Chains A and B, each alone.
Chain A
Amino acid sequence: MRQSQFWPACCTVTCARALRHGNSRLGKNRTEQGEGVFVSRSLTRTTPRETDLRYDELASGATVWAYQGNPFGEQQPTSTAGYVLNLRYPGQYYDAESGTNYNMFRTYEPATGRYLQSDPTGLDGDISTYAAVSNSPLNRIDPDGLRDIFVGGFGDSTSQIVQSYYANYALTHPDSAYYQWTQQSAIEADINSTPAGDPVNLIGHSYGGDTAAAAALHTCGRVNLLITIDPVSRWHYRGMQNIANAVNNWVDVDAEGGSLFQPSNFIAGIGGAWDGAPNGIANTYIQDDLVNHEDFSQMMNASGPGVMSPAQVLSRAQQ
């Protein structure tokens, strides 16, 4: 059983704005009846898989609203004391008149288990042809019940450093996706439309690491594992602690090997490498003194005594 709390303390103004629907605020939720907290619990190992959400009143600790149902979200919630909460699966807001769930980018119809509009991520020109993004939740459930998202860095469209790693990965992980570093909004839409029971693992390289971290911040608590492989764009001044708070587990690799004038190291330096900024804040920080910035696959396997590599952590996240 996996238990996690939605919209934790990492919820910044930006994040609240991104996830706010109507008059309902996320994180600590204040209604006319008082303040409470929204809790999600996904029973990922049951058949059929069930997901439940509940709203606990902070003062009494009592559950005053609950939603439990199948992956399609067909069931209606139960409530006491007249609580009305129209939040459904992550990012969805229930419209009583139409019986559909509004999802920021499109509308989800529980009765058919389909979105009424095409997947906005599928319309993005750069997305990989085998990203396997679908508008049906059934196609989002794979044997390991995960959503693994890879984000390539600047120049990955030509070098295909991450893309080629992903091409092999996707063979045995069909419910995974690849995006370019420029596709942050599509990544967030993908995360928000992933069923609550499917932990999201987000892996980004170079500028894609920065994009992945930004997406994790904006989707507040939806990313289970964040792997940043030698991220750059430090001038965004993302709060390292905020990133750590936004995800369940954060692994960062800092490439410190090779010459400063090796092309990929040079461009990483110019691009504002994060270097040791995540050190002491990320759950795992690995400084690899032997690799160049471009060697994504080598960094995925970087480890040390008692320290698991990103690939090992990703592998464990699938257990």
Chain B
Amino acid sequence: MIRSKLAATMALLAWSVSLTACAAMFSSGPKDIRVTSVTNVDYKDQAQFDWVSPAPRPSLIISRIDFTTDTDLLALAKKKDYNVTFAVGPCSKDGVKDNGTGLGGVYWGHVRIYSDTKDDPGYAAAAAKGPPFTYQAYIRKPQSNDAQGALCFTLAGGSMLGGKLRSNDAILPVH
């Protein structure tokens, strides 16, 4: 019994490792991301965020990043089974190292972009018009004592099987 369970576990591990390695080899994402604006918005007005509290949403200034790409991110997410997120951090030739200020996923208006997004007529109409597409991401407002220097934005996320989403690094304009 123990031997058979061990064999099953080993088989699953081998399968998972090979699948993950395979998925990782095929990481993909747009290479034309461009940040068009960073603006201040109030967290209490952002109904697209899950809110888990008996209290009303607090008034809290956060930053909204608008970016463009020629890739339909929702179509990509559904095709590759991706959860689309992002990272923001100091620009570096080694890539963006996430500074932990991101507030979750990537949005088109109130529509979160991931593999299980429900059909949205508004998005479908916008997608039908073709590129470029504009999306939003949100971060905590940088504190004055945060490290100075240029910040970069990149798409991140992927699938449960290890498929990895990564885009080019785009510089955040100072605001």
For the complex, what is the distance from the CA of A272 to the CA of B8, rounded to whole Å?
11
Binary interface profile of A, 259-303, with partner B (CB < 8 Å = 1, else 0)?
Answer: 000111001001100000000000000000001111101101100
Q: Are A165 and B160 in contact (CB under 8 A)?
A: no
Number of residues of chain B lying within 8 A (CB) of chain A: 42
User: Closest CB-CB distance, B97 to chain A, in whole Å?
Assistant: 10
A316 near B54: Cβ-Cβ < 8 Å: yes
| Contacting residue for B159 out of A171, A235, A263, A311, CB 8 A | A263
Complex contacts, A235 vs chain B, CB 8 Å: 5, 8-9
Encoded as 1 (CB less than 8 Å from any B CB) or 0, chain A from 12 to 26 comes to: 000000000000000
Q: Would B156 and A160 count as touching, CB distance under 8 A?
A: yes
Q: Which residue of the partner chain A has the closest CB to B82?
A: A159
State in angstroms the CA–CA spacing of A298 and B105 once bound together.
Answer: 14
For the complex formed, measure the closest distance between the CB of A86 and the CB atoms of chain B, giving whole angstroms: 38
Q: Is A79 an interface residue (CB 8 A)?
A: no
Cβ contacts B102-116/A at 8 Å (1 or 0 each): 111100000010011
Does A158 contact B116, Cβ atoms closer than 8 Å?
A: no
Q: Are A295 and B9 in contact (CB under 8 A)?
A: no
Residue of B nearest to A153 (CB): B160
The answer to whether A168 and B104 have CB atoms under 8 Å apart is yes
With the chains together, A53 CA to B85 CA distance in Å?
45
Q: Report the separation of the CA atoms of residues A315 and B54 in the bound assembly, to the nearest whole angstrom.
A: 6
| A171:B99 contact, CB within 8 angstroms | no
Interface string of B32-62 (1 = CB under 8 A from A): 0000000000010000011011100110101
- B164 (CB) vs chain A CBs: closest residue: A158
- Are A154 and B160 touching (Cβ within 8 A)? yes
Given contacts A263-B160, A264-B160, A297-B50, contact A171 B83 (CB under 8 A): no
B81-A264 in contact (CB<8A): yes
Q: Which residue of A lies closest to B156 (CB)?
A: A160
Q: Mark A147-162, 1 if CB is under 8 A from B, else 0.
A: 0000001111011110
Q: Is the CB of B50 within 8 A of A267?
A: no
Chain A minimum-CB-distance residue to B15 = A270
Q: Are A164 and B8 in contact (CB under 8 A)?
A: no
> Is the pair B16, A169 in contact by a Cβ cutoff of 8 Å?
no
**Least Cβ distance of B16 to chain A in Å?**
7
Q: Does A31 contact B (CB under 8 A)?
A: no
Cα A270 to Cα B50 in complex, Å, equals 30
A155 to B164 Cα, complex, angstroms: 10
Residues of A within 8 A of B (CB): 128-130, 144, 153-156, 158-161, 163-165, 167-169, 171-173, 206, 235, 262-264, 267, 270-271, 291-295, 297-298, 300-301, 311, 314-316, 318-319
Other 17 A-B pairs with CB < 8 A, given A264-B160, A267-B160, A294-B115: A155-B158, A155-B159, A156-B160, A158-B159, A158-B163, A159-B157, A168-B103, A235-B5, A235-B8, A267-B16, A291-B116, A294-B159, A294-B160, A311-B50, A315-B53, A318-B52, A318-B53
Q: Please give the residue numbers on chain B whose beta carbons come within 8 Å of chain A beta carbons, in ascending order.
A: 5, 8-9, 12, 15-16, 20, 24, 43, 49-50, 52-54, 57-58, 60, 62, 81-83, 85, 98-100, 102-105, 112, 115-116, 140, 156-164
Q: Which 8 A-B pairs have the closest CB atoms?
A: A155-B160, A158-B158, A168-B104, A129-B100, A130-B100, A295-B116, A164-B104, A164-B85
List 26 contacting pairs A-B, 8 Å CB cutoff, sorted by A: A129-B100, A130-B100, A154-B160, A155-B20, A155-B158, A158-B24, A158-B163, A159-B158, A161-B83, A164-B83, A164-B85, A165-B104, A171-B43, A172-B60, A173-B53, A262-B81, A263-B81, A263-B160, A292-B115, A294-B83, A294-B115, A294-B160, A295-B116, A297-B50, A301-B50, A318-B53
